[in-house]
Structure 1
């Protein structure tokens, strides 16, 4: 299961970066997909310094079907069929429901849910050809429960979990598995944006805002990107062949669901 081709969206920072570096360390050739070249180049350099190989797919906007298809084609042309697909691109803007206008709603759904569909739809034939394919969607605990002020994000991530389960059943008799990981509040630039929102809305300090976010985690801390990457590594390994259609929380024991 090593020395194969992995494509990771949202690979320039946070969880996506940690996953890409972890997959490269395992021996995979990694296609780094994202909108911005500079952070992707930095990840590529880090992988190269450790003896790995990575391709930068900048301008990879998961909301644009033509750009997605072109990026997937470039990746396959460079490294061959995609054995591991990790959908990690996402945004989590915060707003009360009555201030969540149609434009904000559409953008959040487009990036976090439709983007997973578009990338997976473009790559699925390649994943099937690769053999023992692995698809991992980075959802969120927001895909398993509700949180206030992020109604669009919760709806999108619930959709990602539903898509994961449906596609896993369609592919259950093949050698392709489809799973989701659902991180709790994780120490990433996305969380930094949430902290800024809390500061602006409440006047709390940055430390107070971060403390309020850690309260959801019974361990009293933030999840690290590496902890999420470790879960992805397991799901993409030969040890997880029987694991499909699952939404695995990485959240320090947070009670989720009904």
Structure 2
């Protein structure tokens, strides 16, 4: 049983902002060497240091994922905590959803997680402990009107995590998904603007739509999601496996 995270190599995709950054910083505070990835080097440069190692990587690109994770492993050892977090969240009615939009959503949210986990797993299997924590969404557990592509990608992610937990059952690795509601990140700000533009409501009213969607009627803080991730890598978490953990202020499904 792993009780000390000091020196453990963790990898967080989309780790330069929002939930990914909060998870990465919390892991670094526990002594992990944390590789954070993203497509914008300038964003990663701003937050690197103090246990965070920035690395530009496009999760949609198989060669990029394989090469960059191999490079990270050569520098910091096998990845034992894998957090596929990189994703896009954008709503679009089905009759306005073209194939390019659909494919980009799947390539980022689902294919990207698959490629990341696949690249990290061989090194993890050479050790005696590992954790995979995928950042899904409550949209991965229930339908979300006006966002069928997003919800489908997050449902698929949960299906993959559940299957991996069964595939490696009894081994010292666990696979879980965190399913937050609306979190106070730049994604909410962008969605607020998009809702306002699409509906004609005010920006404040558009934001309130997302606030009201959380059962406790407030936006989540990124630290609340990061705390759940920390629990899943901590002592006593070894029997939490194949789960989709809601972080949404109440029951949603």
- TM superposition score normalised by structure 1: 0.94
1:29 positional shift: 0.5
Secondary structure, aligned partner of 2:215: coil
Counterpart residue number, 2:139: 142
Residue of 111, 114, 122 corresponding to 1:114: 111
- Alignment partner of 2:36: what SS? strand
Say if 1:21 and 1:43, in contact at 8 Å, map to a contact too. Answer: no
CA drift at 1:240: 0.5
SS in 1 for 2:71: helix
Q: What secondary structure does 1:107 align onto? A: helix
Q: Which residue of 2 aligns with 1:171?
A: 168
Q: Which residue of 1 aligns with 2:53?
A: 55
1:124 aligns with 2:121: yes
Q: Once superposed, what is the RMSD of the aligned Cα atoms? A: 1.0
Distance of 1:23 and 1:239 partners within structure 2: 17
Matched ranges for 1:54-133 at <5 A: 54-58=52-56, 60-133=57-130
Which residue of structure 1 aligns with residue 17 of structure 2? 13
Once the 2 structures are TM-superposed, how far is the Cα of residue 90 of structure 1 from its aligned partner? 0.1
- Residue 254 of structure 1: CA displacement? 3.8
Match of 1:251 in 2: 248
Residue number among 42, 47, 58 corresponding to 2:46 in the alignment? 42
Segments of 5+ residues of structure 1 without an aligned counterpart are none
Q: Secondary structure at the match of 1:130?
A: coil
**Aligned partners of 2:52 and 2:223: how far apart in 1?**
19
Say which of 157, 180, 185 aligns to 2:182: 185
1:77-103 deviations in Å (ceiling 9; x for gaps): 111011100000000122111000111
Paired residues, what number?
Answer: 249
Aligned to 1:23: 27
Q: Would you say 1:199 and 2:203 are equivalent positions?
A: no
Contact residue 72 and residue 123 of structure 1 kept, 8 A: yes
**CA positional deviation for 1:162:** 0.3
List per-residue Cα deviations over 1:108-143 (Å, max 9, x = no partner).
011000111011111110111232100000000000
TM-score by length of 2: 0.96
Give how far 1:191 is off.
1.2
- The gaps in structure 2 that reach 5 residues or longer are none
Structure 1 runs of 4+ with >4 Å offset? none
For residues 185 and 133 of structure 1, the distance between their equivalents in structure 2, rounded to whole angstroms, comes to 28
* Cα shift at 1:40: 1.1
Partner of 1:2: 5
State the 1:2 CA deviation: 0.9
- Take 1:141 and 1:172, find their aligned partners in 2: how far apart are those partners? 25
Per-residue CA deviation, residues 19-55 of structure 1 (Å, 9 max, x unaligned), is: 000100111010011111111112214xx2xxxx222
